Amino acid sequence: MTCKGKLIIILLGPPGAGKGTQAKLIENKYNIPHISTGDILRDAIDKNSTLGKNANDYMHKGELVPDDLVFDLIKERVENPDCKYGALFDGFPRNLAQAKMLMNIQYVKQSKNFFVFLINISDDEAIRRLSNRRYCPKCKSIYNLIHKIPERKKNGIYLCDNCGTELIIRDDDKVETIKNRLKVYHESAEHMINFFKELSVLHIITNSIEQDVFRDITRIIEAESTLEKD
């Protein structure tokens, strides 16, 4: 489906909420680019642009890239031709300051179809999902012992279906690390969520099943947007 008019979507939610999965589904349905802060940073660094060099300086030191620098990268990205009819933001904004910056750029102000979806899951559910992830260090395949279980085991350790390598648990998916990530998320997201709620653009999705989440998101877009569809 191709939409005539600009559609801007922000996906919010704790780690493990399934934002990446929903982003792919939305991108395919509405033909708008999935803009991830991490991808933008890596691309700018690879291109060795001025913004990329500045961002790399912070990342090399293990520091967070400042809000204004991330914002400049976002503004540069939405000027690309593929953003003419809209964009889907994942991983941005991360806090209230970034949210206010985003709402003040002309690209967003010109859109009458602006949606913020909060995919809400409990901390216990986030821990359950993330701690069951398994990762192949060789071919980079990702599994989950809940819904994407590897077919083979050796000495009690799961093996990659693609290359046979022993799967590992990444540091990000260890329980203590997950709890810390959730703590950081709640601290940074609370004021941002209230900000979008006050603007009447926030939609909270409470379903936990992938297909139901996507169904709820598309229903809201179809009901509330002013888009003309090809």
Q: Which one of the listed residues 6, 77, 129, 133 is annotated catalytic?
A: 133
Range 146-149, long-range pairs (CB < 8 A, 24+ positions) = none
Rounded CA-CA distance 65/57 in Å is 9
* DSSP code at position 80: S
Nearest to 32 by CA among 95, 75, 80, 70: 80
From 84, 170, 174, 179, the catalytic residue: 170
Q: Are strands 86-90 and 228-229 parallel, antiparallel or unpaired?
A: unpaired
19, 77, 129, 134: which is the annotated catalytic residue? 19
Please say whether the dihedral angle defined by the alpha carbons of residues 162, 168, 172 and 175, taken in this order, is positive or negative.
Answer: positive
Q: Residue 215, CB half-sphere, CA atoms under 13 Å: how many?
A: 7
**Catalytic status, residue 133:** yes
**Catalytic one among 77, 129, 134, 181?**
181
Grouping H, G, I as helix, E, B as strand and the rest as coil, residue 2 is: coil
**Six-digit token string for 31:** 């033909």
Distance CA 113, CA 98 (A): 20
Annotated active-site residue 19? The verdict is: yes
Give the residue among 193, 23, 204, 172 at the shortest CA–CA distance from 94.
Answer: 193
CA distances from 147 to 128, 132, 135, 143 (A): 12, 9, 14, 8
Which is catalytic among the residues 77, 94, 129, 134?
Answer: 94
Residues annotated as part of the active site: 19, 94, 133, 170, 181
